[in-house]
Homo-oligomer: A and B are copies of this chain.
């Protein structure tokens, strides 16, 4: 394990298996590929003068979060209070939570996190601002709040610059809260629209006399586009660590930049055209993301995973020149890496072509 980065090496659990004897289905992570992905993106952010604030939802693992920080990330992004707690427990001191938080018990947990690290959150309504500010006051802490802007992604967020500025003023005037700037999750392929919307929102905020400390965007699909980083101060990318079939299909990643595969065994060949693997929706998930089939079988790229049952993937192998046999082990590139990670308590780390150990996914299931 000497070739692995320290945060990973020190957290792997030892195994009495090799790649050949590992039980399937197993999620493999090529740490060499993943680490190169991290390095490459950090260098890109450094060159662009944009802060790198990686989203840990993809890996949900402390080891990788620490590695991202070691490489130069300014802080991390999380999606849930549960993820924030796990990462704060690991000593991470700068956390940005990009979903609205409501509910008395959860807000109390939010306040507790804020009292032990530098915590930023988002808001797109007065209710969310008031709730975050109250949670901060109750904990004797301060929470930085960014206004979430809908710049074309059609998720959460305000679109009207005047409404954005008004909410920014409300944050700035709330005891316990501090106005942190603007945040958006851009629509894929809408970089120009995103930039224009952010510029309008910045102008509206400045028009009220506010300064806009941070302008934060994210998303892996367009992360490598050279245009459109203006007027951003930071970028939140998540999937880039492992990449997946969805990013491969968009041209965001190449196949040799994909670090996650699901190792599966062919357990049945009931007909000439059908093969069954022991990875189903409880291993690959049903996420299609607009793709045809539920993953790419690397050894049999002409096979189509046309159906998933819970523990089985059904493959049409009629177009394969040498279809697989019962007992063969295959590697499946999943459509969407983030949801696969979330099914497993541990992933299996490969480096130099050898199995190195099991990586705990400490924040698995932490959607609360």
**Could you tell me which A residues sit within 8 Å of B by CB distance?**
17, 21-26, 57, 79-80, 99-106, 124-125, 127-128, 150, 154-159, 265, 267-270, 274, 276, 278, 280-283, 285-288, 309-312, 314, 326-327, 338-339, 342-345, 365, 367-368
- The CA of A26 and the CA of B365, in the complex, are separated in Å by 11
Q: Which residues from B are CB-within-8-Å of A326?
A: 102, 125, 127-128
Besides the known contacts A124-B268, A128-B268, A343-B365, 17 further A-B residue pairs in the complex with CB atoms under 8 A apart: A22-B105, A23-B368, A25-B367, A26-B368, A79-B310, A80-B311, A99-B278, A100-B276, A103-B265, A154-B274, A155-B270, A155-B309, A156-B268, A157-B268, A157-B270, A158-B270, A280-B367
Q: Is B368 a contact partner of A345 (Cβ separation < 8 A)?
A: no
What are some 15 contacts across the A-B interface (CB < 8 A)? Answer: A99-B267, A99-B278, A100-B267, A102-B267, A102-B326, A124-B270, A150-B270, A154-B274, A156-B267, A156-B276, A157-B268, A281-B285, A282-B367, A342-B343, A344-B365
Taking a contact as CB atoms closer than 8 A, the residue among B26, B105, B127, B368 that contacts A25 in the complex is B368
Q: How far is the CB of A237 from chain B (nearest CB, A)?
A: 14
* Most chain B beta-carbon neighbours within 10 Å: one of A124, A158, A343, A367: A367
Q: Is B286 a contact partner of A155 (Cβ separation < 8 A)?
A: no
Copies in the complex: 2
Q: Which residues from B are CB-within-8-Å of A105?
A: 17, 21-23
- The CA of A263 and the CA of B104, in the complex, are separated in Å by 15
* Most chain B beta-carbon neighbours within 10 Å: one of A57, A282, A338, A342: A282
Q: Which residues from B are CB-within-8-Å of A309?
A: 155
- The CA of A200 and the CA of B104, in the complex, are separated in Å by 62
Taking a contact as CB atoms closer than 8 A, the residue among B101, B286, B287, B327 that contacts A102 in the complex is B327
- The CA of A132 and the CA of B150, in the complex, are separated in Å by 56
Q: How far is the CB of A74 from chain B (nearest CB, A)?
A: 22
Q: Is A281 a contact partner of B155 (Cβ separation < 8 A)?
A: no
